[in-house]
């Protein structure tokens, strides 16, 4: 970010929805570290007070406890706001398979409420969390933004609908939007607990507790695991870009390399063994494949590089070392 862009943000107020969650709290923290005004809207459905406790008393931070399913809460949160980073949603493919109605209410109706509130508040830009799940059953690798398949889960439907609504709000109301299709994000503050925990924090916690992690399938499924700081970078670039061609687009947010589950588990074991030798002897279990899981996921990041000057700084190994260090000092 150059001086002019930082100056612009210093004179702005940014709403982060889902700011008490994993990605949202990292966005709030980064913006506050730059002394930018931040409003956070969250209902603690999956987010936690401890995620925002470090900056709850920051003079530039305002927290609004509210629900994006409630239009009034959305209007309240958007008051006087210049930019929005919309992260609030119910993540997890299995959660949406178990309870598609609630995922739809939050991820689709809640998203629509936020678009309406953003439009009514005349915000300059609405940047939102989209998802790699939108590639669905498309088998082509790497995934390029213009070629998607059919959704494989209710969650994927909701995230695809977000993109369609954002596009329509641009066409009909002139709202500027950018959609960020995150690919398997990991890093500090991602929740390791609960039935819908993501694989990296879940396995880290199990290793730390000397339990055997279970891989769904034979471990050859692969993902483009993306460290949180790369995601934060893309959000900031989306806020400040003055390239008109960059607006009203969707972008892959990833590192651009894939790692299979067997490789991932070995890396975690290796890095955690540096803290606790006994972890090197923990065996891995294998279970059935999960419904809705795509076999392989790998992003082309060319569009983000070309239009937003994206330059990811953390590859999977560097990111995993950082994440492991954080979990070791926060979970032990
Ligand atoms: N983590 C990933 O790998 C990944 C991948 C693709 C897309 N995404 C998307 O990124 C966004 C953030 O995900 P995350 O991993 O930080 O998840 P998270 O669960 O940690 O954060 C989501 C936040 O939204 C809040 N929230 C949920 N329902 C709400 C509601 N009705 N009203 C207000 N707040 C609500 C939660 O309390 C939580 O703080 C989500 O939109 C998710 O779909 C994440």
Please tell me the pTM assigned to this model.
0.98
Active site (catalytic) residues:
155
168-180: pLDDT as tens digits: 999 999 999 999 9
pLDDT of residue 92: 92
Taking the C-alpha atoms of residue 234 and residue 237, their distance in angstroms, rounded to an integer, is 5
Pocket test for ligand 1, best of 17, 19, 21 (most atoms within 8 A of CB): 21
What pLDDT, on the 0 to 100 scale, is given for residue 215?
Answer: 97
- Tell me the pLDDT band of 3, cut-offs 50, 70 and 90: confident
Contacts for 225 with CB less than 8 Å, ≥ 6 apart: 183, 184, 186, 200, 255, 259, 264, 316, 319, 320
Span from the CA of 155 to the centroid of ligand 1 (angstroms): 12
- What's the chain's average pLDDT? 97
Local confidence band at 100 (pLDDT 50, 70, 90 cut-offs): very high
Torsion of CA 21, 27, 29, 32, to 10 degrees: -140
| Candidate from 173-177, 193-197, 229-233 with smallest mean pLDDT | 193-197
Residue nearest to atom 30 of ligand 1 (CA): 67
Measured CA distances, 47 to 42, 160, 165, 189, 239 (Å): 7, 23, 25, 10, 23
Q: Tell me: domain 3-186+228-257+294-314, CATH 3.40.50.720, correct?
A: yes
Atom index in ligand 1 nearest the CA of residue 128 equals: 41
Inform me whether the pLDDT recorded for 166 exceeds 90: yes
Residue ranges covered by each domain of the chain:
3-186+228-257+294-314
Ligand 1 atom at minimal distance to the Cα of residue 159: 43
Q: Which residues pair with 262 in a beta bridge?
A: none
Mean pLDDT of 237-250: 97
Q: Are 286 and 213 in contact (CB under 8 A)?
A: no
């Amino acid at each position: 970010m150059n001086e002019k862009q930082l100056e612009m943000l210093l004179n702005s107020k940014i709403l982060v929805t889902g700011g008490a969650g994993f990605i949202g709290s990292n966005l709030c923290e980064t913006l506050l570290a730059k002394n930018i005004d931040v409003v956070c809207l969250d209902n603690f459905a999956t987010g936690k007070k401890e995620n925002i406790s470090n900056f709850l008393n920051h003079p530039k931070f305002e927290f609004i406890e509210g629900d994006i399913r409630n239009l009034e809460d959305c209007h309240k949160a958007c008051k006087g706001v210049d930019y929005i980073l919309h992260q609030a949603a119910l993540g997890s493919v299995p959660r949406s398979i178990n309870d598609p109605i609630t995922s739809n209410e939050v991820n689709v109706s809640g998203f629509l409420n936020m678009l309406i509130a953003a439009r009514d508040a005349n915000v300059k830009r609405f940047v939102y969390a989209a998802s790699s799940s939108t590639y669905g059953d498309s088998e082509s690798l790497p995934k390029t933004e213009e070629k998607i398949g059919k959704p494989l889960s209710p969650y994927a439907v909701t995230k695809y609908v977000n993109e369609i609504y954002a596009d329509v709000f641009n066409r009909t109301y002139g709202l500027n939007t950018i959609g960020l299709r995150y690919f398997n994000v990991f890093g500090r503050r991602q929740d390791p607990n609960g039935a819908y925990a993501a694989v990296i924090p879940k396995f880290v916690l199990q290793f730390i507790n000397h339990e055997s992690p279970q891989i769904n399938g034979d471990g050859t499924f692969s993902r483009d695991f993306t460290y949180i700081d790369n995601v934060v970078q893309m959000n900031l670039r989306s806020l400040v870009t003055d390239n008109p061609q960059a607006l009203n687009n969707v972008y892959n947010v990833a590192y651009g390399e894939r790692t299979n589950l067997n490789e991932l588990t070995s890396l975690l074991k290796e890095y955690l063994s540096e803290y606790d030798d006994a972890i090197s002897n923990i065996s891995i279990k294998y279970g059935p494949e999960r419904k809705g899981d795509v076999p392989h996921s790998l992003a082309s990041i060319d569009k983000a590089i070309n239009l937003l000057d994206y330059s990811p700084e953390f590859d999977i190994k560097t990111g995993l070392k950082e994440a492991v260090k954080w979990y070791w000092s926060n979970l032990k």
